[in-house]
Amino acid sequence: MDEAARLFFKSVTHAPEHIKVRETEAHAYLLRGNYEKSYELATALRTEHPESWKAAMLRLYTAPPAMAFHELLAELGDDDLAHKEVLPALASRDRKRQSGQFLLTGSARCSHYWSGLRRRNLTSAAGARRNNW
C-alpha cells in the first residue's frame, strides 16, 4: 500500500490541477490512512466537479463517523450509483453504522442499482468468455 500511495503522490507533481490527478491524490491519502485529508480533498473535488464518482466514493469511505448515513446517501446521484466502485463504499459505510439491512430492504434506489450491476457484470463476464477476452 505504501508503494501504491507513493506512486499516487508522484502523479500529483505532473498535473496538480487535473481532475484525475486530484482524485488520485485523495485516494493516496486514503491508502496511507489519513482519512481526514482524503475526505477534505474529496469534498473539495466533489464541490468543483459534482460528476466525479470517485470523489463520491472516497467521501463515503472517509466521512467522519458522526456524519449520518442518510446524508451521504442523499448526496449521491444516479450516475454515482451506476459505478460499481461506489456501491461497496456505500455498503461499507452502512456496515459501519451497524445496520446491514438498510441496503437490502430500506432503499429501493440502491437495490435497483445492485440488481442492474449484477446483471451488467454477469452479461459482461459472459460476453468476455464468449469472445475469449
Looking at residue 8, its pLDDT comes to: 61
| Positive/negative CA dihedral, 4, 5, 7, 12 | positive
Res. 93 pLDDT band, cuts 50 70 90: confident
Of 24, 30, 23, residue with least CA distance to 8: 24
Question: What residue ranges do the domains of the chain occupy?
Answer: 2-130
Q: Is the pLDDT of residue 109 over 70?
A: no
| Alpha-carbon span 28 to 10, nearest angstrom | 10
| Alpha-carbon span 90 to 35, nearest angstrom | 16
Looking at residue 131, its pLDDT comes to: 40
Q: Which triple of cell numbers denotes residue 64?
A: 467522519
Higher pLDDT, 118 or 131: 118
User: What rounded mean pLDDT belongs to the chain?
Assistant: 74
| 8 A C-beta contact, residue 56 and residue 80 | yes
The arrangement of secondary structure in 2-130, i.e. its CATH architecture, is Alpha Horseshoe (1.25)
Q: Is the pLDDT of residue 129 over 50?
A: no
Longest dimension (CA), the chain: 48
Q: Is the pLDDT of residue 19 over 70?
A: yes
Provide mean pLDDT across the span 75-85: 91
| 8 A C-beta contact, residue 101 and residue 89 | no
